Amino acid sequence: MQLYMIVERFKHGDAIPVYRRFRDRGRLAPEGLTYVASYVDTALQTCYQLMQTDDPGKLQEWIGNWNDIVEFEVHPVMTSAEAVERIAPRL
């Protein structure tokens, strides 16, 4: 499964519409997209969310449920342990 770090910037710096939708409708993630963890900056303007899927289309489907109130950056990432394993032969 591929991990993705999602940087979500709340449009107009306004977290209220985001949290209201989450309260009313949940994460709106399609089957096959797994939430791992998230962190929000103290200004309540940006969320850093880790998601996992084998199907990048599921990620795009999820983004489509939120892109009217959130701007997204998507970064494929790996764990530090995976990075050590990948780089070890070149050390």
Task: Count CA within 13 A, CB hemisphere, residue 73.
Answer: 9
What pLDDT does residue 74 have? Answer: 98
CA distance 85 to 71: 33
Residue range 4-63, pLDDT digits in tens: 999 999 999 999 999 999 999 999 999 999 999 999 999 999 999 999 999 999 999 999
CA distance 47 to 15: 10
Domains of the chain: 2-90 (3.30.70.1060)
- Contact residues for 41 (Cβ-Cβ < 8 A; gap 6+): 47, 48
What pLDDT does residue 18 have? Answer: 97
What pLDDT does residue 58 have? Answer: 97
Q: What value does the mean pLDDT take over residues 61-71?
A: 98
- Contact residues for 56 (Cβ-Cβ < 8 A; gap 6+): 2
In the numeric block, the tokens 């709106």 are attached to: 28
Instruction: Look up residue 32 and give its amino acid.
Output: G
CB neighbourhood size of 56 (10 A): 13
Q: What value does the mean pLDDT take over residues 66-90?
A: 97
Tell me 27's DSSP state.
Answer: -
What pLDDT does residue 4 have? Answer: 98
